[in-house]
Amino acid sequence: MSPDCEYSIQLAQTFIEYCPSPVAIFDLNMRYVAVSESWFSEYRLKECNIVGRSHYDIFPETPDEWKVLHQRCLKGEVLKNDEVPFTRLDGSLDYISWEMRPWREDNGSIGGLIMYTEVITEKVLNRLHLVREEARLTALMQVAVEPCIEAALEKALELGTRELGMEIGIVSDIQGDHYRLRSHYAPGTDLTGNEQFSVGETYCSLALQREEPLGIHHMGQSSYKGHPCYQKFALESYIGISLRVGGHLFGTLNFSSAQPLSEPFTDADKRFVGLMARWISNALESIALKNELQNAVRSQREFFSVLAHDLRNQMNGSIFFTGILKDRFDENETEEREIIGDIALQFEETNAMLSKLLEWGRDSMESDSISINQEKLQWGEVTDQVFTPLRPEAAQKNITLQVVGEAGTEFFADRILLTTILRNLITNSFRALKAEGTIQLSISVDDAVTRFVVSDNGPGMSQVMLNDLNQEIIPRLPKSPDGSGFGLLICRSYTARHQGKISFENQEPQGLRVLLELPRYPIGIGHIA
């Protein structure tokens, strides 16, 4: 090495030593020539005097593929990587970005390489945590649109156990000191769902004292190791939060495991549990409302109120989505504004539907005095309003939604009543298909009649049920918490308001076909040019 080159190296050493980023100069044998102070701190090196020593002695965990890259650089290549994981000797994981350039002697020959690096572990982990949190929210939203609340509760608990690394998920019902399992997900355990405990012998006695989720990742090493639950059940990890329904304490949402976790619950974990608890509280309130209304049915005049539980489910979905936006999103960003717009539209349609139901109930189901606002509609706008709130469920169940007919086809109908009819019919098809399949919505018109057909490739119906439906008898669908027949009652009543008719038949090779026929033009007016 020439004196001039040595002088240059000395200058570089002085510059690099105080460089705020981790930088090092190596010779042709990958021995340190100069190194910055931050190299030691960022890579947690205990040795301070490494000049002249081999890089591979200081970092014996260097992967072989990196050594190949070093040799390529020593032959003249400039190489870089913006993000790469680096497993350290102690098993910890760092993420780094780096760039390597060869440096040259006075005669132009390569004398070694310069390695510029940055430890980006915190930045990468933050991004990964954000991605995981968004994935959790997406999964929870898919659960929230499940039409059967009981099934949705089980799916929510399954999601929670999987995301939190737990064995048991429980929605508890607490009355005084009595703790009962309202819903649970605990595969591989002895829980049957019939167990009852004293609140004091559960960790939920601790969660009830807080507004925010309580998380304990290793009970045996915590201040709670003397708790009766730990002594009796030896549950090592727990996270839970209280549930309130109608402003009153209902119980808790909690997840637990006999195994401790290696790390404490994160703030993201607690936000996830808190958000799930908010949705579950809404769902339980909807169930309570439905039960109260069913108990209140004494006459046909009161019967309309039972139908409101369907609308309440839709409102709960809207409340849940707006809660997510409030906690997570910036309304000034384009994507979030679109989401807010969809939710606002869902609220508006639900409120309109509720107004029609209240009017219907006030004037009684036998009365023809419910108002009908027949306006000129286009097929495209109707199908958009019908399908928009149903698309998340269709995606979740792998159900294809098809529209047949020109988007510009015009006809007259009450927009709110018609979309309610079609959405109820399509929801029945969802229940029949359960998972996978096709639902088709089509339109055809002639001078006097607009015909809508909702068809699916599900199992169809028995001839007895078809006979009942076509004779205007509303059957209760067996073994289905949603099979009350309320939706079909709405369809038939709203069809009658249009002076239309509705019929049901099985189609070949399988599936159900529902035909809805309405006057194409306003009642009593006829053809309008």
Q: Give the residue, 506 or 480, on which the prediction is more confident.
A: 506
Give pLDDT tens digits for 138-149. Answer: 888 888 888 788
Report helix, strand and coil shares of the chain as percent, to nearest 5: 45, 25, 30
**Where residue 246 falls among pLDDT bands split at 50, 70, 90?**
confident
pTM of the model: 0.49
Whether residue 290 has pLDDT greater than 80: no
pLDDT of residue 432: 85
pLDDT at 433: 87
Q: Give 316-333 pLDDT, tens digit per residue.
A: 556 566 656 655 655 556
Instruction: Please say if the pLDDT value at position 359 is more than 80.
Output: no
Least confident of 146-155, 356-365, 401-410, 421-430: 356-365
Question: b/e per residue, 135-151, with b = 16+ CB within 10 A?
Answer: ebbebbbbbbbbbebee
pLDDT of residue 82 exceeding 50: yes
Percent of the chain at pLDDT exceeding 70: 78
The Cα 322–Cα 438 span in angstroms is: 30
Predicted confidence band of residue 486 (pLDDT cuts 50, 70, 90): low
Residue in 483, 375, 454, 437 with CA at minimum distance from that of residue 150: 483
| In the predicted structure, residue 474 carries a pLDDT above the cut 60 | no
pLDDT at 392: 83
Give yes or no for residue 220 having a pLDDT over 50: yes
Q: Provide the pLDDT for residue 484.
A: 45
Q: What is the mean pLDDT of residues 56-79?
A: 96
- The pLDDT confidence band at residue 306, using thresholds 50, 70 and 90, is low
Percent of the chain whose pLDDT exceeds 90: 52
Q: What average pLDDT does the structure give for the chain? A: 83
Q: pLDDT higher for 135 or 66?
A: 66
Mean pLDDT confidence for 397-407: 93
Q: In what order do the strands lie in the sheet with 399-404?
A: 399-404, 437-445, 449-456, 512-519, 501-506
